[in-house]
Chains A and B, each alone.
Chain A
């Protein structure tokens, strides 16, 4: 052994006082108990699960209100029909219409158009504001129950009988007269 190492070992051969361990134990006793590192999942896992539930619920919320099937196409009906009109209406007061990616946002389409009919499934649903839907239902039920009379409104529009018949339109024959030849020498300014 190196003499320096021997000197150093002797210098380091120092023992703590007999009360040293007891003091450490007393000091440790004042500390909160150590937690196992892996036990943090007991707290973390429920928190993560609850957060995931909230995220999924918020994400699914608009879709839960959306009908899964595509809405039935609107057909022309007589307002005066006795059967109650059921509209494929989704009442929304504030939220804007949800447009699936890749679909057109414009709601105009022509009936009978083949291309439009095939694209109808990809069209966004027709959304009507809640107050408008209520007003429309009230109007229909009012007409059904006789509380609202639409006759004055309907009579304002001229019926087909008031239209002029084709026979009554006089078409005068068109006479075409030949253009008179220009008199005078060629090149003379008229």
Chain B
């Protein structure tokens, strides 16, 4: 009996160690994705990190059902998006949004100011999109995702994603008056 329980305990420890290793792999390869998804909604670095961290904790609790890579990333993206939306709705007091731009892209103060203004206009236009179009256009411009990858992440047919991307770009153009 003791031998059986020892073997069982040893097996469980081995299984847990294997799960831990797999989760670490998923964490390393998907952490930036989760952060960027949260940032696209919140536009605040600290809040985005908190939301992404919360999503990873939830993913860890359910990791036995999310071991497949595609399944994990899709679940993580959707969970992070939902948590970020909830966070934003519950945090209406926050007015100032971080306009995050890499310093290397800004050679001088005038260019920086213009870039910030353009980014602000862009985010305002994205915020005005319906949620279905917004998540599609954001994911399509993140980490070199193609239509197939966006469709996998959202659990939608590629044709649906294509039409949503088309509609999103059309509305953004209308709002931003970018015809070039």
Contact = CB atoms under 8 A, between A and B. Distances in A.
B20 A12 contact: no
Contacts of A34: 16, 19-20, 23, 60-64
Contact of B8 (A27, A37, A42): A42
Interface string A90-107: 000000000000000000
28 contacts: A3-B178, A3-B180, A4-B122, A7-B118, A8-B137, A8-B138, A9-B141, A11-B101, A11-B119, A12-B36, A12-B141, A13-B102, A14-B36, A14-B45, A14-B100, A15-B35, A16-B52, A17-B45, A20-B31, A21-B27, A27-B56, A28-B57, A31-B57, A31-B61, A34-B16, A34-B19, A34-B60, A34-B62
B113 interface: no
B84 interface: no
Contacts of B122: 4, 7-8, 11
B15 A36 contact: yes
Interface of A: 2-5, 7-17, 20-21, 23-25, 27-28, 31, 33-39, 42
B32 A16 contact: yes
B16 A33 contact: yes
Contacts of B126: 8
From DSSP, what is the main secondary structure of chain A's interface residues?
helix
B176 interface: yes
B142 interface: yes
B31 A21 contact: yes
Given A15-B32, A20-B31, A34-B60, A4 B53 contact: no
